């Protein structure tokens, strides 16, 4: 697991653990001295206001940060080499070699059904992807900074040999 994936997983597990502990602590108060709802509720509503603003702040910051990582832009008109990729049941027609440290664009489409074009780095981690759809061309911009053999796997269920649909290319 690379550091990016590990950070996502650990962050999620920490959040899940915190929720679990908080909810168990709340549940345990039913064994303590009980309080009437009229007493608990006003305190809870004040806390809820803070909870709302805290969540709103997290959401706004997360959205703002995420904007920088949106993969859309206009790669169709981008300079640099374009490589055509055709997905089909059950394989990919694509170039065998891609230049390193070069902004390249994959022009991805499908000859039959919906497929996924998922690029796995030499350590077998998913680094980028786009859908391959019949009748449409999706332009995926990628810059490979490490040499090696990259594997492409289909990431949209496409039929009985979906799991066997893979190809590869060398970055050099």
Partner 1 sequence: MTDATTVFPDRRARNVMWAYITTGIAIFGLMVLVGLGMRAEQAQWLNYGPGLFYSLMTLHGAGMITSMVLCGMGGLWYLMNRERAMDPGIAWTAYAFMTIGVVCVIASVWPGGFGASWTFLYPLPFVGATWPSWATGAFLIGLALIMFGWTVWCTQLLGCVLRAYGGLRGATGWDLVFHHARFEASGKAEPPPYAFAALVTAVDGLLAAAGGMLVGIALIVHWLYPGVAIDPLWAKNLTYFFGHTFANLTIYMAIGLVYYALPKYADREWHTSAVLAVAWWGTLLFVAIAYFHHLYMDFAQPQAVQYVGEVASYLAAFPPAVVTIFGGALLVYRSRLRWTMGSMFMYAGLIGWLIGGIGALIDATVPINVSLHNTLWVPAHFHTYLLEGVALFILGWVFWNLETHSGLTSSVRTRWLTGAGIFGGGGILLLGWYVAGADSVPRRYAAEPAPGPDIAAWASIGAVILVIGLIICCVEAIRLAKSPRTETNP
Using CB under 8 A, which residues numbered 71 to 90 contact partner 1? 71-72, 89
CA dist 90 → 21, 116, 168 (Å) = 47, 11, 14
Q: Rule CB under 8 A: say whether 6 interacts with partner 1.
A: yes
Which residue, 124 or 172, is less far from partner 1 as judged by CB? 124
CA nearest neighbour of 108 among 127, 125, 129, 90: 129
Q: Out of 35, 84, 102, 146, name the contact with partner 1 by CB under 8 A.
A: 35
Burial, 61: exposed, middle or buried (Cβ in 10 Å; 0-12, 13-18, 19+)? exposed
Q: Which of 77, 79, 94, 128 binds partner 1 (CB under 8 A)?
A: 128
Q: Tell me if 125 contacts partner 1 by CB under 8 A.
A: yes
Residues 169 and 95: beta-carbon distance below 8 Å? yes
Stretch that binds partner 1, among 79-87, 92-100, 161-169 (CB under 8 A): 161-169
């Amino acid at each position: 697991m690379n550091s990016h994936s590990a950070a996502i997983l650990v962050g999620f597990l920490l959040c899940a653990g915190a929720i679990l502990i908080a909810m168990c602590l709340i549940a345990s108060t039913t064994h303590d001295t009980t309080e009437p709802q009229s007493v608990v509720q006003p305190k809870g509503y004040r806390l809820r206001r803070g909870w709302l603003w805290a969540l709103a702040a997290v959401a706004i910051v997360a959205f703002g940060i995420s904007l920088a990582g949106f993969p859309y832009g206009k790669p169709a008109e981008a300079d640099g080499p374009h490589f055509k990729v055709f997905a089909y049941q059950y394989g990919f027609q694509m170039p065998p070699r891609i230049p390193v440290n070069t902004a390249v664009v994959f022009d991805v489409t499908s000859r039959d059904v919906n497929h996924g074009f998922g690029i796995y780095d030499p350590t077998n981690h998913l680094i980028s992807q786009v859908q391959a759809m019949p009748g449409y061309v999706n332009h995926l911009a990628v810059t490979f900074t490490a040499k090696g053999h990259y594997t492409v796997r289909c990431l949209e269920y496409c039929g009985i040999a979906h799991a066997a649909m893979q190809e590869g290319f060398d970055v050099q």
